[in-house]
Amino acid sequence: MAAIVLLTACNPKQAWKKKAIDDQEKSVMDAAKRGKIDTMGLNNLLVAYDAYVAAYPNDTLSANYLFKEADFYRYMRQPQKSIKIYNTIYNNYPAFIKRPYSLFLQGFIYENEIRNLDSAKAKYLMFLQVYPNHPIAEDVKLTLESLGKSPEQVIAEFEARQKADSTTAAANSMK
């Protein structure tokens, strides 16, 4: 049944490319499960993602392949490539369900891998402006509040807030 849906949804060449990508993904993931890194297989997979996106830019799978590609580049410690791909997703695929994450992850990479706090802040603020009610919006706000602070500073501020909250609660209960 899945094969029929696949073949009716895309042309034979497109279906063949999707099948090849599925096989390559399985191979790379199987190697990873065995604790091995299939460098050649991973490189071939990244090329296959790019070829599919170039051939079928409007296909809904293209955004998903780009998202996977950006994730792979993150894990390969190539943050600039990853950011570039997440940015492409954000700009070119407005209906993609993971679009908000592509924006958030740009900020995350700027903050944690590139250490460019100004760019991270800009992406986080943009996220909150565009997606104020997104499920991770509160987390993004907290991230912004702690941006550039050491873990010790964050803990000290948290403890100070807790102390202030308990003092306020105690004062209110006496009224």
Give, as one character, the DSSP assignment of residue 7.
H
Whether 83 and 74 have beta carbons less than 8 Å apart is answered as no
Tens of pLDDT, residue by residue over 10-54, are: 678 888 899 889 889 899 898 889 988 888 999 999 999 999 999
Least Cα distance to 83 among 49, 64, 110, 115 occurs for: 110
Residue position matching structure tokens 């909250």:
165
Residue 137 has pLDDT above 90, yes or no: yes
What is the average per-residue pLDDT within 60-69?
Answer: 96
| pLDDT value at residue 171 | 63
What is the location of CATH 1.25.40 in the chain? 76-175
Whether 10 and 59 have beta carbons less than 8 Å apart is answered as yes
Q: How far is CA 85 from the centre of its chain?
A: 10
CB neighbourhood size of 102 (10 A): 22
| pLDDT value at residue 129 | 97
* Token couple for 167: 């003092």
Angle at 87 between CA 83 and CA 90, to 5 degrees: 140
The share of the chain scoring above pLDDT 90, in percent, equals: 61
- The residue among 14 and 118 whose pLDDT is bigger is 118
| pLDDT value at residue 10 | 61
| pLDDT value at residue 156 | 81
Q: What kind of fold does domain 76-175 have according to CATH?
A: 1.25.40
> What's this model's pTM, rounded to 2 decimal places?
0.81
| pLDDT value at residue 168 | 64
| pLDDT value at residue 5 | 45
Residue 150 has pLDDT above 60, yes or no: yes
* Token couple for 21: 């990508």
Residue 166 has pLDDT above 80, yes or no: no
Least Cα distance to 67 among 40, 93, 29, 30 occurs for: 93
